[in-house]
Amino acid sequence: MNWRVAVVGVGAVGTEMIRLLHARKFPMASLKVLARRARTEVIDGISYDVRTATPEEFDDVDIAFFAGTEGEKGASQTLGWEAVRRGAIVIDNGDDFRMDPRVPLVVPEINAEALQHHQGFIANPNCSTIIALMPLAPLHRAARLRRFIACTYQAVSGTGSAAIRELETQVRAWAVGEPMTHQVYPHQIAFNVLPSVGSFKDPSGESTEEQKMRRETHKILGVSDIQITTTCVRVPVFNGHSVAIHAEFEQPITPERAREILRNTPGVELVDDPTNAVYPMPIWASGRYEVLVGRIRRDPSFEHGLALWCSGDNIWKGAAQNAIQIAEELIARGWLRR
């Protein structure tokens, strides 16, 4: 069966959703592109008639991918459940409903079974959560996580198209000795790092991005007692998030056993030969379906501790690709019906 598909939003994530739907040969009978305003968008030489997102546009849609914060912030809040009411399955990249008890929060390689009882609305986790959990989840199944510390190194593409342009503009200005201006970020991002991703609303001092890692991990893994501390940092990289992880397990687990597990984990590629300068880097992870994992070693600060480093494409596996994989999983398991 071919499905009638809509993509809501044509920012950084929405554009990649459209590309990946074609690249992965998703079984589409039709593809409708919706946004705040009607216009024509050209993606890879193909012109798309972008229509204004209204409730009625979902009457003939089977699967609606909401691109999230990149271009259409709030779209799922105003249109998501209405699209479900009109018969569509909504897969939302935004963060508005991730912790809603009605909504499964899914990484297909980790907790696809959560899709079985969906109520028509499914959420994508945060990009850095996905990239960190791709190696952590299989290790958790083998030795059970007790706690982990994650420090993220997040590319500007996670903020959207305007941030990508801002970094490029600043680099070009620096190259010719001109002043570097900034609008998207509170400070210059070129040749700098900003320990600020999300907003600081909580008196604890955590950012919203750091809270997401803890809350989403608990929901995805189905446990609430794993202790998690995160520091999220924006770095002058165009695309590809990286995460340094220090994890403590309840059971002993050696670096050799961890490599064996990860070598056989779908969606993960082991890149771990540091003596020959082979380790995960965002420049290698960008444009890859897999999350790259390496620098695996014992962490002596924990009784059963491991340290590792991973990089993944935050727009692909961290957003657009994961959403499409959710739809592919629904189809494969017969949980998506017209």
Residues marked active site are found at 127, 241
For residue 278, what is the DSSP state?
A: B
Using CA of residue 223, residue 332, residue 327, residue 16, what is the dihedral sign?
A: positive
Cα–Cα distance between 44 and 246 in angstroms, integer?
A: 40
Q: Alpha-carbon Rg of the chain, whole angstroms? A: 20
Alpha carbons 78 and 67: distance in angstroms, whole number: 14
Residues 6 or more apart whose CB falls under 8 angstroms from that of 185 comprise 159, 163, 166, 194, 234
**Please, are residues 242 and 282 in contact by the beta-carbon 8 Å criterion?**
yes
How many Å apart are CA 244 and CA 270, to the nearest integer?
15
Q: Is 102 exposed, middle or buried (0-12, 13-18, 19+ CB in 10 A)?
A: exposed
